[in-house]
A and B are shown apart, each in its own frame.
Chain A
Amino acid sequence: AQTVTQSQPEMSVQEAETVTLSCTYDTSENNYYLFWYKQPPSRQMILVIRQEAYKQQNATENRFSVNFQKAAKSFSLKISDSQLGDTAMYFCAFNQGAQKLVFGQGTRLTINP
């Protein structure tokens, strides 16, 4: 079974700093998709970024980028120039094509003014 592990329960940085959230996963498959979702205090799940495993190039979305290391089964999220609005729970998630999303435990990120 696929598993997703986020080893950082909580992180806290100052506004404008860069922060990296870690995620590792376990699968025997070769083709799959990885996601980072943000859940702010409103609890609405918001897609931050996605990565297709067959693409070697790391995905980027404005201030958000990933470091995808397929061999190491690692998928970290880097947030540059962090903003107060980035404060949220961040979930790493995996989808292998069976449509079901498998979530990590989450990292609670706090951006301090």
Chain B
Amino acid sequence: GAVVSQHPSRVICKSGTSVKIECRSLDFQATTMFWYRQFPKQSLMLMATSNEGSKATYEQGVEKDKFLINHASLTLSTLTVTSAHPEDSSFYICSAPSGTGGRGRYGYTFGSGTRLTVV
């Protein structure tokens, strides 16, 4: 089945530095990638939607200059947390619609997540 590979799984960085998270679709083309943030014991909060070859669409309240999303190819989308601060510490998950047509009617494939800790 469709697989989204997400790396790194864990990262610890110093405050003020930038961190890049990669999501690759391994056996299908992901024209769209969704990026979520999840706090402990809470639901997934959609941060932004990236589409291959175009600018990402950010949800209200998400700082586009802090969370840079690039979707340069049909198999790779990246999220860069710039000038990270402790409050950016969270679990980040990517997801792509699986199945034909890419409309998600058959479900969505999720990456395994990245636990970011900013110290």
Minimum distance in angstroms from A95 CB to a CB of chain B? 5
Check A106/B110 contact, CB under 8 A, given A33-B104, A95-B104, A99-B32. Answer: no
Q: Is B43 an interface residue (CB 8 A)?
A: yes
In the complex, the answer to whether B34 meets A101 with C-beta atoms within 8 Å is: yes
B46 touching A100 by the CB < 8 A rule?
A: yes
- CB within 8 Å of B: which A63-113 residues: 91, 95, 97, 99-101, 103-106, 108
On whether the beta carbons of A33 and B108 are closer than 8 Å, the reply is no
Bound together, the chains give a CA A13 to CA B43 distance in angstroms of 22
Distance in angstroms from A82 CB to nearest chain B CB is 21
Beyond A44-B110, A44-B112, A44-B113, whether A95 also contacts B105 by CB under 8 A is yes
Residue in A42, A43, A101, A105 whose beta carbon sits within 8 Å of that of B104 in the complex? A101
**Complex: how many Å from CA A97 to CA B32?**
13
CA distance A71 to B60 in the complex (A): 31
Measured CA separation A65–B6 after assembly (Å): 30
Given A44-B110, A105-B43, answer yes or no on A100-B49 (Cβ-Cβ < 8 Å): yes
In Å, the complex CA distance between A47 and B32 comes to: 18
Interface string of B60-102 (1 = CB under 8 A from A): 0000000000000000000000000000000101010100001
Which residues of B are interface residues toward A (Cβ below 8 A)? 32, 34, 38, 41-44, 46, 49, 91, 93, 95, 97, 102-108, 110, 112-113
Interface of A toward B, CB cutoff 8 Å? 33, 35, 42-45, 47, 50, 52, 91, 95, 97, 99-101, 103-106, 108
